[in-house]
Copies of this chain bind each other. A is one copy, B any other.
Amino acid sequence: MALTYELIKECKQSGARLGKIHTKRGVIETPIFMPVGTQATVKTMTPEELIEIESQIILSNTYHLYLRPGHHLIDRAGGLHKFMNWNKPILTDSGGFQVFSLGDLRKISEEGVEFRSHLDGSKHFISPEKAIEIQTSLGSDIMMVFDECAPYPADETYVKNSLERTTRWAIRCKEAHKNFENQSLFGIIQGGMYPNLRKQSAEALIELDFPGYAVGGLSVGEPKPLMYEVLEHTTPLMPKNKPRYLMGVGSPDCLLEGVIRGIDMFDCVLPTRIARNGTAMTSQGKVVIKNAKHTEDFQGLDPECSCNTCKNYSKAYLRHLFKSNEVLGLRLLSYHNLYFLLQLMKNIREAIHEDRLLDYRDNFFEKYGYNA
């Protein structure tokens, strides 16, 4: 068994859980946020910095690494961990989400998905078996099944057909997966915004007995309250003794609301992407660093944050870096945003431990300027 989930405690105020995921590359305290290293690098960051801000696990993208530099090259390099100099756990997605995002560039069949590379237009085919082959070469600690993430909105028949194929693909992934001593394969519950379909998907996948389950197909454009509603229907169906992962979610409010509904793991490019656009997440809400009002603001980004960026640099300096297109600006804001989210998750774990997560959320939102 490459991975086990230990349930430490359940919050008395909410559906939140405190847990530990034990892997061969170390223990992950949950709930946790996973920084995203799409192309075998968390953009602008070194692995040393990821350790410094207490990242416990990162995510990397199968689709991107398959196309460039290629999974065979990474295999020959000794696997993704060695290639990118990261020794803690890695979760890889299956490539499904990226491939489906290609729109007109892809064609779905029962066998798999044919698509054209966004880099050079070359033709490729990923099947469930291929997705497992690639992830096996990458050597990630947690692999994901090849699924279809249905768009929003989508009618019930489409979503039902899609989730049933996703289930058949999950069976094929499980059969193709051989390296279970070192790599764990998670199932992905689909079903769009339809509670009955979520139930159908969850039941079918639970029967396959994966060591962990993700909720897919959310944060795809639906209103947030709808996402929370779907979560409320779905997480109670999921096994208590296995990790629950909400894919592609990373705004502070969604992390809090997700945890409250029983989610243990999250990933999203949001913190690093908005950082590169000059937006910082802070305890007082978002700071758009290029705004003229920061020109002579010699205070740090967030008075409550003790990250290196906040300790050492003023908003005026950060603004200057962004106005001057300096790489250091991208670095310092990416560092801060990831630190901010990982610190938020730490505070969330502490609040669960002390059965006060709803109070924590309310206080957080009051300062953050978000109306829960």
Contacts and interface: CB of A to CB of B under 8 A. Distances in A.
A158 interface: no
Contacts of A312: 47, 85
Contacts of A208: none
Contacts of A69: 295, 316, 319-320, 323
Interface stretch (A23-31, A37-45, A90-98, A178-186): A37-45
Contacts of A47: 312
Contact of A314 (B83, B298, B317): B83
Interface stretch (A8-16, A324-332, A336-344): A324-332
A160 to B, nearest CB: 38
A321 B83 contact: no
A76 B295 CA distance: 11
Interface string A66-85: 00110001001110000111
Contact of A320 (B48, B68, B313, B327): B68
Given A73-B295, A73-B296, A317 B84 contact: yes
A41 B328 contact: yes
Contacts of A84: 317
A46 interface: yes
Contact of A40 (B41, B46, B296, B317): B317
Interface residues of A, number: 38
Contact of A41 (B45, B308, B321): B321
A298 B313 CA distance: 37
Contacts of A319: 69
A39 B85 contact: no
A320 to B, nearest CB: 4
B324 A39 contact: yes
Interface in A282-340: 295-296, 298, 308, 312-314, 316-317, 319-321, 323-324, 326-328, 330-332
A316 B77 contact: yes
B77 A328 contact: no
A141 B43 CA distance: 35
How many copies of this chain sit in the oligomeric assembly? 2
A165 to B, nearest CB: 32
B331 A46 contact: yes
Nearest to A323: B68
Contacts of A330: 327
Contacts of A324: 39, 41, 68
A316 B324 CA distance: 31
A329 to B, nearest CB: 8
Contacts of A68: 320, 323-324
A313 B82 CA distance: 9
Given A41-B326, A68-B323, A69-B319, 14 more contacts: A41-B324, A43-B326, A44-B328, A44-B331, A45-B328, A46-B332, A48-B308, A69-B320, A73-B296, A76-B298, A77-B298, A85-B312, A85-B313, A327-B327
